Structure 1
Amino acid sequence: MIRFKRHEGFRFTFNTPIPAIFTIEEVNGNVVETSEGMATMMDISPNGLKLNTPLNIPISKLGQVKISVRFQLNETMFQVHGMIIWREDKYNHFLYGVHFSIDERVQEDLIRNIKSYVKSATD
C-alpha cells in the first residue's frame, strides 16, 4: 500500500459535495477505456481529492489505478488526472482518495479557485 503524508497547506471540505465525472484511464500499467462514472467530490486540496460514488472501482492493488476527474469550481471547469491511493467501503457507496498528477500551473489555478470558493462560501 502506498503511504502519503499530507503536506499540503490546506484541505477544504465542501458543505454540499460538488458533482464530478470520472473515467478510469489505467489499471496496473495497462491503458483502459471506460464509460464515465458519476461521483461527488467531498473535499479537495492542492494535491488531491476525495470522491464519493456508488461504483465499486475494481482495485487489486492501491496506487495502480489512474483516473481522470472532471468538475467545476466557481466558473472554471477542471479535468485532473490522478491515482487512487485509498478506498473506503460504505454501506451503499465507496469513498476514494485521489492523489493528483498535475503540473504546477494547473495546481496554482486550482489553489486560486479553491480559495475563491472558500471566500464566496463564507460570505
Structure 2
Amino acid sequence: MYFKRNEPFRFTFGQPLDGKLYDATNNTEVKVSILDVSRNGAKVYCEDDIQLKSDTKVRLTYKIDDTSFDAFGAVTWTKPSKTSYEMGLHLNTDDDYHTTMIQSLKKLKRSNL
C-alpha cells in the first residue's frame, strides 16, 4: 500500500477533535485528539503510552457536531516523542461513511465562519 498523504481530500481541524482509539487485539481504550481526517484515514495525537505498532488493528470513534463516526482500520505509522505519539491510521470505510463525513465537515466549516 502507498501512504504518502496524497489523497485528494484531507480536512485538517483548527481545533483537534476528541476521540477514542481501541486496540482491537485486547480492546484497550485510549483518548486521542484527531488532527485531520480523510476518506480512508486519520492522523491522531495521543498522550497515553499505548505504543501501537504499524499494522495493529484499531477502531476509531469520534463525533463531528452531533454525528458519531466509528471505523475499523490499522495503524500505518507512528511518530513518538517524549510525552506523546502521533499516529497515521488507515480506516476501512464505505460510501455512507464518506458521504456522512463530508456533510458533517461542511456543516462544521459553515458554523465556524
TM-score normalised by the shorter chain: which range applies?
0.7 to 0.9
1:2-41, aligned counterparts within 5 Å? 2-25=1-24, 32-41=25-34
Once the 2 structures are TM-superposed, how far is the Cα of residue 56 of structure 1 from its aligned partner? Answer: 3.2
Once the 2 structures are TM-superposed, how far is the Cα of residue 91 of structure 1 from its aligned partner? Answer: 2.5
Query: What value does the CA root-mean-square deviation take over the aligned residues?
Result: 1.6
TM-score norm. by structure 1 comes to 0.81
Q: What's the secondary structure of 2:28's corresponding residue?
A: coil
Going from structure 1 to structure 2, the CA distance change for 1:52 and 1:15 (only over 3 Å counts) comes to same
Which runs of 5 or more residues in structure 1 are unaligned?
26-31
Once the 2 structures are TM-superposed, how far is the Cα of residue 90 of structure 1 from its aligned partner? Answer: 1.9
Distance across 2 between alignment mates of 1:49 and 1:58: 15
Percentage identity across aligned positions? 24
Partner in structure 1 of residue 103 of structure 2: 112
CA deviations 1:12-47 (Å, max 9, x no partner) are 21111111111111xxxxxx2223111110111112
Q: Give the length in aligned residue pairs.
A: 112
Query: Would you say 1:102 and 2:85 are equivalent positions?
Result: no
Once the 2 structures are TM-superposed, how far is the Cα of residue 7 of structure 1 from its aligned partner? Answer: 4.4
CA deviations 1:48-91 (Å, max 9, x no partner) are 111101233242xx2x2111011110110111111111111122
Query: Would you say 1:48 and 2:41 are equivalent positions?
Result: yes
